[in-house]
Amino acid sequence: MPIRLPRPLRVLVAGAPLLLALLPLLPAQAQDWPNKPVRVIVPFPPGGGTDTVARPLTAKLSQLSGQQFVIDNRGGAGGTIGAAMAAKSPADGYTVLLSPVHVAVAVTAYKSLPYDLEKDLLPVTTVAIFPDVLVAATRVPARTLPERPSARPRSPTFPRRWSRAWRVSR
């Protein structure tokens, strides 16, 4: 059986490659980077999931590098406000975006974005992986996935797109 590290330690271990991964982005400054504080844009408000990853991660990166990694929470529009700020920042390695998959999903959710995902943002490393959990209210009679389709509401007002999702996911 594999060894399971406590969650805070997994976050720190997973985040350490961020510092190493950023070094090649600055070939002219690689020897003394970072020589000033690094701005870490978190495109969600303080206290959210991304912020709770960012806090111990930036503390460890600050400790490892001897330079401050400063969190700049810029929540709004599903993460696109913070992503746009990162995309418009100077390409000097002193501004990074710590974002979950929302930035990539925004391309399909919005007609236009203030940044081009392919041209303006460069993925550097995976910092953390979080499982998603399927949950239901306790009043739903389904207790397992095979039981779930029978629990589908039988209402004519049940949204068509959700109805399709129920059929596809069975």
Name the residue with higher pLDDT: 158 or 122.
Answer: 122
Q: All domains of the chain, ordered by start, with CATH?
A: 7-120 (3.40.190.150), 134-170 (no CATH)
Helices (DSSP H) in the chain: which residue ranges? 7-22, 49-65, 80-88, 102-109, 117-120, 160-169
Cα–Cα nearest to 106, from 120, 127, 125: 120
pLDDT of the residue at 103: 84
DSSP code of residue 48: S
Tens digit of pLDDT for each residue in 49-90? 999 999 999 999 999 999 999 999 999 999 999 999 999 999
